[in-house]
Amino acid sequence: MKIVVCVKEINGEINPFDECALECALNMDADEIYIVCMGRERAIDPLKRLSRLGLNIKVHLLCDNIFAGSDTLATSYVLSEDIKKIAPDLIICGRQSIDGDTGQVGPCLSEILGYSLITNIMEIKEITDTKISAKSRMGDESVSFPAVICVDRINNLRFPRIGQKEKEIEIINADTLGVDKSKCGLKGSPTQVVKSFQNETGKRKCKFIKPEEFKQILADEQKKERKKIEIPPAEKKLENVWAVGDKATEIAKSIGENIIKFSEDDIDKIAEKAKNEKVDAILFPANFWGRKYAPLVQVRLNTGLCADCTLLETDGSDLFMYRPALGGDVIAKIKCTTKPALATVRISENTENDVIISVGRGAKDVINDIKKYAEKNGFGFGASRPVVDMEMAKYENQVGLTGKNVNPKVYVAIGIEGLVQHTCAIQKAGCIIAVNPNKDAKIFDFCDYGIISTAEEFLEYM
């Protein structure tokens, strides 16, 4: 078997999801493993470290100034041109990169190359000569080779053994690769950032209180009415907007005049219909299904796709999409230079529980105690992505950009830092109470009440 592992270098390190992808490959009976990376020369050193992990490993670095500024479509195109020459049986990608969080490259590669696809893999169950079977977040799946699989953080990358030597990295430029330069870099990227800025959305005026005041405030806030989820209509609207599912259709109505609703079974129909009709935008839900299938439509229509949008705006001509970027430090305003513009949109749904107690890394040592407290009182339990990545909470508990939106009467954030990737999902909560020992923690900018305390100390007052 010949395997390609796609990796990305971020600030001198390999994307952790891609490290998991490589470990999966190393555990398989592969004749050859190709590590393929599109990036700058600074990626050479971390790639050399990876080259020590097996005698059957070869490393390609696709490096050229013309590749700079590539969006997910352009990146996928460049990677696919090298992968075509390798002709692997299996391509393994990490679920997503930690800086972009889109999860689009794997699905795009599968569509460009005509490979089968499984995303969000939690466990590889069986590999035969003809197919691979896995447990994904969407259920048990099995596909035939050649295939692309996108794996979650399901393992840890091994260390090289003593005596394993670094190999030379094959650096391949645009001319050697033979790419169409009009499809690379900014020129080949239909999704472009208009501007980026510090996140101000969802900020609240925090009143710091003592831990012993928590119980009374919690009781008082539970007596209040829950906030209604409202989607204000745009002053000017796009002429034709399509959407998949009821919730995405509600959002489409706020930005479009003429709306067509599709079901998830219509994915092939959507792409074919869009080739022959005028449509300004197509909205998909930002769930596992949407993140898997929207990139396939993107490739078929050769257009832009913005993932996990928290806000949509339009001037009547263009669609402007907002999403967290750069690891959650800023909000990016994005537009597509082509039509239709595609977007996966965050869906706000009414939360079952009036109160949600949510934990972050700062509460990792007392998570079980906090969970028991929530269960005892009939409260919901939530977790930040780092806690889920550490396998200390289940994915269905994850609140945030790659998890779920919530709107309880009261949201209690314990040991959560407060990056926009988390706060974007709690904006509809009635009251937010944050507990953190760092008085300068970002979460205090997005809460109504703040308690300066460690999670361990706060347990006494719950």
Query: How many residues are listed for the chain in this entry?
Result: 462
What average pLDDT score do residues 283-304 get?
96
Q: Phi/psi of residue 147, each to 5°?
A: -145, 155
The pLDDT value recorded for residue 48 is 96
pLDDT in tens, 31-89: 999 999 999 999 999 999 999 999 899 999 999 999 999 999 999 999 999 999 999 99
The pLDDT value recorded for residue 98 is 84
Residues 6+ positions from 121 with CB-CB distance below 8 Å? 134, 135, 136, 149, 150, 151, 152, 154
Which residue, chain included where needed, has tokens 């800086």? 99
**Crossing angle of helices 267-276/288-301, nearest 10°?**
30
Q: Which two three-digit tokens encode residue 193?
A: 């950032």
The pLDDT value recorded for residue 186 is 94
Whether residue 326 is predicted with pLDDT greater than 70 in this model: the reply is no
Mean pLDDT (the chain) is 94
Tell me if residue 431 falls in helix, strand or coil. strand
The pLDDT value recorded for residue 341 is 97
Whether residue 329 is predicted with pLDDT greater than 90 in this model: the reply is no
pLDDT in tens, 216-239: 999 999 999 887 777 888 999 999
Alpha-helical regions (H) of 225-317: 246-255, 267-276, 288-301
E strands, 128-226, are: 131-136, 139-144, 147-151, 170-172, 191-198, 207-208
Q: What angle do CA 144, 82, 339 make, to 5 degrees?
A: 80
What average pLDDT score do residues 270-285 get?
96
Closest CA to 172 of 44, 328, 315, 17: 44
Which domains occur in the chain, in start order? 2-183 (3.40.50.620), 200-228+350-461 (3.40.50.1220), 230-345 (3.40.50.620)
Q: Are 383 and 398 in contact (CB under 8 A)?
A: yes
Strands 131-136 and 139-144: antiparallel
The pLDDT value recorded for residue 328 is 58
Q: Are 179 and 403 in contact (CB under 8 A)?
A: no
- The single-letter code of the amino acid at 391 is E
What average pLDDT score do residues 119-132 get?
96
Q: What angle do CA 189, 35, 181 make, to 5 degrees?
A: 30
The pLDDT value recorded for residue 314 is 96
What average pLDDT score do residues 196-223 get?
92
Whether residue 327 is predicted with pLDDT greater than 80 in this model: the reply is no
| Residue 59 to residue 52: CA distance in whole angstroms | 11
Q: What share of the chain is helix, strand, coil (3-state, %, to 5)?
A: 30, 30, 35
* Ramachandran bin of 42, using left for φ above 0, alpha for ψ from -120 to 50, beta for the remaining angles: alpha
Using only the alpha carbons of the chain, give its radius of gyration: 23
Strands 449-451 and 431-435: parallel
Q: Are 305 and 104 in contact (CB under 8 A)?
A: yes
Alpha-helical regions (H) of 266-400: 267-276, 288-301, 367-376, 385-389
Strands 170-172 and 57-62: parallel
What average pLDDT score do residues 291-317 get?
95
Whether residue 322 is predicted with pLDDT greater than 70 in this model: the reply is yes
How far are the Cα atoms of 72, 74, 301, 341, 342 from residue 105, in angstroms, in the given order? 6, 9, 16, 17, 15
| Residue 299 to residue 308: CA distance in whole angstroms | 18
- The single-letter code of the amino acid at 455 is A
The pLDDT value recorded for residue 201 is 79
Q: Are 105 and 112 in contact (CB under 8 A)?
A: no
Which burial class, exposed, middle or buried, applies to 115 when counting CB atoms under 10 A from its CB (0-12, 13-18, 19+)? buried
**Crossing angle of helices 288-301/105-113, nearest 10°?**
50
What average pLDDT score do residues 91-118 get?
94
| Residue 190 to residue 169: CA distance in whole angstroms | 31
Strands 330-336 and 191-198: antiparallel
